[in-house]
Structure 1
Amino acid sequence: MATSSTNAANNDETEERHAKIDWDHHLSYSVIPTDYMYMMKSNPDGTFSDGALIPFGPIEINPHSSVLNYGQGLFEGMKAYRTPTGEVQIFRPEENAIRMQIGAERLLMAAPTVDQYVHAVKQVVRANIRWVPPHGKGTLYIRPLLFGSGSVMGISPAPETTFLIFTNPIGNAYKGISASLSLLVHDSLPRAFPGGTGGVKNISNYSPVFQVVKEAKGKGFSDVLFLDAVEHKYVEEVSSCNVFIVKGNKISTSPTLGTILPGVTRKSILQLALQLGYQAEERRFSVDELLEADEVFCTGTAVSISDVCSATYKDRKVEFKTGENTVTRKLSEMIRGIQNGLTEDNRGWVVKID
């Protein structure tokens, strides 16, 4: 496997700068396999070593594996960006590594160290660098996975864990959504429960909301906004991203108390909002307060920062300010500028792929 790693790392020196794709028209949010992925398995003592790049393709997995039988698995989402000068960089990878470690502790899995995680991400991006879209045309989505690959029969954590990373070029519009989001507030089915796994990127957090999201989209909504599981009145998350409200000079988002994912983009926006002179706070707020907000926006790796044009709750539709001269637009331009190399990174958030 080490030979594969060496050969893959040298590919960017011999292959064309970009893959043969019509970056202006072909790229969306669909499956586009790239050249290489990275794989590393845990040792009996719970450490990791001997990871390597391998050609992208199917992997073998035992039917007894814990991930197939009991859903013992996590995933992360990241992006690689191409700057105007052609350089490639990633955004705050150590934050994703730490979040994966926290999730692994919750699910009783061995996890790579932060250094191993970041090294692996850099390796796989470098090997697939021709798949990073030209500046402004999209990004290379990076999907790190950690799952129980060891065999079990009873309900128990796997004796072996696999760390796998693959990549996929995507367009700038999340799943084809290029305009502002219209949200349907769901007040009966919670996304997460206290004491559950809503605060980590557990693979089984997402499929339970497929049905209600599909139904909402069938009615013309972009996505579903979920409320808390106890009182059914406090705003938590959209199906795959965090939510912020803007009222006057205050920017608020729900606290990460076990049911809400601590998003990397979310954390970055809280810091940037303070830099812009706004009051940024983490606090619980009700759906009624959301409906009185000046602006609402969502954050996440996939959606980046997307403004919300409307929210509908119990047949009441409320519209919010979007577009130019909004707080959302200022924050979006600020973080996108850092990620895409248009603005100087003075916080050490960007890691360049050399």
Structure 2
Amino acid sequence: MEIELRLVPENKRRPVPELKNLIFGRLFTEHMFVMEYDCNRGWHSARIEPYGAITLDPAAIVLHYAQTIFEGLKAYFGVDGKIRLFRPWENMRRLNRSAERLCMPKIDEDFVLEAIKKLILIDRAWIPREKGAALYIRPFMFGTEPSLGVKPSHSYLLIVILSPVSAYYQEGFNPVKIYVTDEFVRAAPGGTGEVKAGGNYAASLKAAEVAKSKGYTQVLWLDAVERRYVEEVGTMNIFFYFEDELVTPALSGSILPGITRDSVIKLARHWGLPVSERRVSIEEVIEGAASGRLKECFGTGTAAVISPVGVLCYQGQEYLINRGETGPLARRLFDELTAIQYGEKEDPFGWTVVLG
């Protein structure tokens, strides 16, 4: 399938604004990639066209039954002037796993990745140049068939949009305060917690608002059955550094298999640090914080890469971790991963894709 180019004429393109102090997800580039699906033709009409509004039937299945999935990755402007993607094939694979879970059609991973590369190069002027900033890439798919019957859609749109974003840490690499909820549940075994389905995030909003009202940055979710075992933090996976062992909750089917999570595990093991993927109870975390056995805690994700945690609040009691300071392991992981992403250090894992 060819990708049709319907580009904005050069003399009619918007001037690229100053790409500093951006609010995440508020500014979008000149073009987007669009591809359509129907059950008779399969995927078709792939094109790069001007960024703009889409038209949906009011009865579109996505609007009523939330049949929608998405991904998030970044393009980095390296110190050598080259554009890099970080493990983008993993995002394509995860998009297909999400599609399968929500009864949506799979994509040709290589084709869509090539389309994303082409889109980035067309709008390359929108990639911020400062260290820490990047071009955020959002592929998403949703059911478009007009039907009020509860069933998988027979037609879909896949769209990729681009958004320049500032460095995540505007005021330094400072630890965040996390609120542990035992009232609300993010995902249950057999549900959709391990895929990037839009409904997962809608279900998380109430707890996030409660945490925010109490002065905390994000929510730490516990398991849905016993309300005892740690799962993940808001939009991030979670890690605990107990003495000389790095621990993260095992992928149980209700935890998103984060790409940064996997990168941290591989990098830490490469350094010779013991890493365990296992069940972690909130009691173990609280006891570790109280006794000092818990040396560090941090979240991992595409947006922040590494987000140190300085305070946990559980059942009205606050627990300080590492005196509320950023730990050396979190700092080392952040520095190493970002150095690979921006081409400052050699990539020993073959994680980066260089576009030019």
TM-score (ref. length: structure 2): 0.91
Q: Cα–Cα, structure 1 residues 46 and 249, in superposed 2: closer, same or farther, change >3 Å?
A: farther
Q: Counterparts of 2:173 and 2:160 in 1: how far apart (Å)?
A: 27
| Larger deviation, residues 209-218 vs 158-167 | 209-218
Deviating more after overlay: 247-256 vs 224-233: 247-256
Structure 1 residues 46, 115: closer, same or farther in 2, change over 3 A?
farther
Match of residue 92 from structure 1:
87
Question: C-alpha displacement at 1:307, in angstroms?
Answer: 0.7
Cα separation, 2, equivalents of 1:137 and 1:307:
16
Q: Note the residue ranges of structure 2 that are not aligned, 5 or more in a row.
A: 289-293
Matches within 5 A, 1:1-354: 5=5, 7=7, 19-21=16-18, 23=20, 26-45=21-40, 47-136=42-131, 138-173=133-168, 179-291=174-286, 292=288, 293-321=294-322, 326-354=328-356
C-alpha distance in 2, partners of 1:177/1:209?
Answer: 27
Deviates more, 1:170-179 or 1:330-339: 170-179
Equivalent-residue separation in structure 1 for 2:31 and 2:50 (angstroms):
4
Q: State the 1:257 CA deviation.
A: 1.7
Deviations 1:260-297 (A, max 9, x none): 00011111111001011111121110012222121110
C-alpha separation between the residues in 2 aligned to 1:331 and 1:22? Answer: 26
Quick one: distance in 2 between partners of 1:115 and 1:128?
Answer: 20
Change (3 A) 1:199 1:331: same
**What's the CA shift for 1:315?**
2.2
With over 3 angstroms needed to count, the CA separation of the structure-2 counterparts of 1:142 and 1:22, relative to structure 1, is closer
Superposition deviation, residue 118 in structure 1: 0.9
Please report how far the alpha carbon of residue 334 of structure 1 lies from its aligned counterpart in structure 2 after TM superposition: 1.2
- Aligned-CA RMSD value: 2.5
Indicate conservation of the 8 Å contact 1:47/1:111, yes or no: no
- After alignment, is 262-271 or 145-154 more displaced? 145-154
Q: 3-state DSSP class of the match of 1:124?
A: helix
Q: Residue deviations 1:117-144, cap 9 Å, x none?
A: 2112212211221111003151111110
- Structure-1-length-normalised TM-score: 0.92
SS in structure 2 of the partner of residue 294 of structure 1: strand
Which 5+ residue runs of structure 1 have no aligned equivalent? none
Is 1:5–1:52's contact at 8 Å kept on the other side of the alignment? yes
Q: Which runs of 4+ in 1 moved over 6 A?
A: 174-177
**Structure 1 residue matching 2:55: 3-state secondary structure:** coil
Count of paired positions: 348
* Whole-angstrom distance in 1 between the partners of 2:165 and 2:353: 20
Specify the SS of the correspondent of 1:208. Answer: helix
Indicate if the aligned counterparts of 1:82 and 1:133 stay in contact, CA closer than 8 A. yes
CA deviation after TM superposition for structure 1 residue 109, in Å: 0.4
Structure 1 residues 46 and 342, CA, compared in 2 at 3 Å: closer, same or farther? farther
| Structure 1 residues 62 and 232: alpha-carbon distance in aligned structure 2, compared to 1, 3 A threshold | same
